[in-house]
């Protein structure tokens, strides 16, 4: 079972970043971040453009060096073993256009001492139909699935996915999510960066929200929502509630032909509506999500 980040000791962590800083002249891209990522978890790093996500992840991946701080893998400084045991799906990877999908996997596979079976990876990543097609003749979704297959080639214990579904249409995004879920079920630890709140909510069991180089919130998605945004919104058509409005205390405001009530006690509120004889058809319930948490903590939207 995964330990929650609050109770995780250094021994439970597969990888741990300790007091990481990265400065570019005046810019503090990463400003003193410490975090431990548990074995078998799907950790999501969420934040708006320029928050410092890519810089932090590239430091953890050992692609760039921090200005200060340390990264430990299995409790030790990273070594050759780390390179052998991680897989990275970059945001952009140049592929040789004249190679087919299968040839690309076989070519990259020669870089490792031992790899997963290419046919198995092709099946896992739903690439059967395009395996003999050149890389420049595949769709955006198929290319992302090929990049994921490349990241899985060396049977990594830890997989980094940098904004894996950016630019994909909803169907291609859902396909990719299903494959990532399957990878997670194999017990691999996943570290994912994303702008998409829904992606993080659907895939991650542990989330850090980053803004201006710092981690401003950390925990399971439900925990973050419960801690920061408890109130749900019930939109009740005005003509349903009529003269009874004054009987419902607490925050309410009008929007168009609806009255919006905000409450922590959805069940109690609905019971009260029923007790007052309010017809519930046409009533809309909106529960808070990670986007609301982000908005509350930073005053900005994730996609600004």
Residues engaged in binding ligand ATP (CB under 6 A): 24, 27, 29, 47, 49-55
Give the nearest distance from C-beta 43 to ligand ATP in angstroms. 15
Give the nearest distance from C-beta 29 to ligand ATP in angstroms. 3
- The smaller minimum CB distance to ligand ATP, of residues 3 and 195, is found at 195
- The smaller minimum CB distance to ligand ATP, of residues 29 and 209, is found at 29
Give the nearest distance from C-beta 250 to ligand ATP in angstroms. 37
| Residue (of 242, 241, 270, 235) closest to 256 by Cα position | 235
Instruction: State which H helix or E strand residue 178 sits in.
Output: helix 170-185
* Residue 193 near residue 180, CB atoms below 8 Å: no
- The smaller minimum CB distance to ligand ATP, of residues 17 and 259, is found at 17
Torsion of CA 151, 152, 155, 157, to 10 degrees: 70
Give the nearest distance from C-beta 17 to ligand ATP in angstroms. 14
- The smaller minimum CB distance to ligand ATP, of residues 24 and 98, is found at 24
Token code pair at residue 255 = 């929007």
Token code pair at residue 149 = 């297959």
99: Cα within 13 Å, side-chain hemisphere: 13
Pairing mode, strands 189-194 and 158-162: parallel
Give the nearest distance from C-beta 139 to ligand ATP in angstroms. 23
- The smaller minimum CB distance to ligand ATP, of residues 55 and 104, is found at 55
């Amino acid at each position: 079972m995964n330990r929650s980040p609050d109770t995780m000791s250094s021994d439970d962590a597969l990888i741990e970043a300790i007091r990481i800083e990265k400065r570019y002249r005046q810019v503090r891209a990463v400003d003193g971040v410490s975090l431990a990522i548990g074995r078998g978890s799907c950790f999501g790093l969420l934040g708006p453009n320029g928050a410092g996500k890519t810089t932090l992840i590239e430091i953890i991946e050992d692609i760039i060096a921090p200005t200060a701080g340390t990264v430990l893998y299995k409790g030790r400084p990273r070594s050759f073993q780390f390179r052998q045991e991680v897989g990275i799906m970059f945001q952009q990877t140049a592929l040789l256009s004249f190679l087919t999908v299968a040839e690309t996997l076989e070519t990259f596979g020669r870089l490792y001492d031992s790899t997963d079976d290419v046919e198995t990876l092709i099946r896992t990543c739903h690439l059967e139909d395009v395996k003999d097609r050149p890389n420049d003749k595949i769709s955006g979704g198929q290319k992302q699935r090929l990049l994921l297959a490349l990241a899985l080639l060396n049977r990594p214990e830890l997989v980094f996915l940098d904004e894996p579904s950016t630019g994909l249409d909803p169907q291609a995004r859902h396909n990719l999510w299903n494959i990532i879920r399957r990878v997670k079920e194999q017990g691999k630890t996943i570290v994912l960066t994303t702008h998409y709140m829904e992606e993080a909510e659907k895939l991650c069991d542990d989330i850090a929200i980053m803004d201006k180089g710092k981690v401003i919130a950390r925990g399971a998605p439900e925990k973050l929502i419960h801690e920061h945004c408890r109130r749900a919104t019930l939109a009740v058509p005005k003509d349903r509630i009529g003269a009874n409005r004054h009987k419902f205390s607490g925050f309410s405001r009008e929007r168009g032909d609806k009255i919006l009530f905000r409450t922590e006690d959805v069940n109690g509120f609905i019971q009260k509506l029923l007790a007052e004889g309010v017809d519930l058809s046409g009533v809309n319930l909106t529960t808070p999500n990670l986007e609301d948490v982000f908005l509350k903590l930073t005053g900005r939207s994730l996609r600004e």
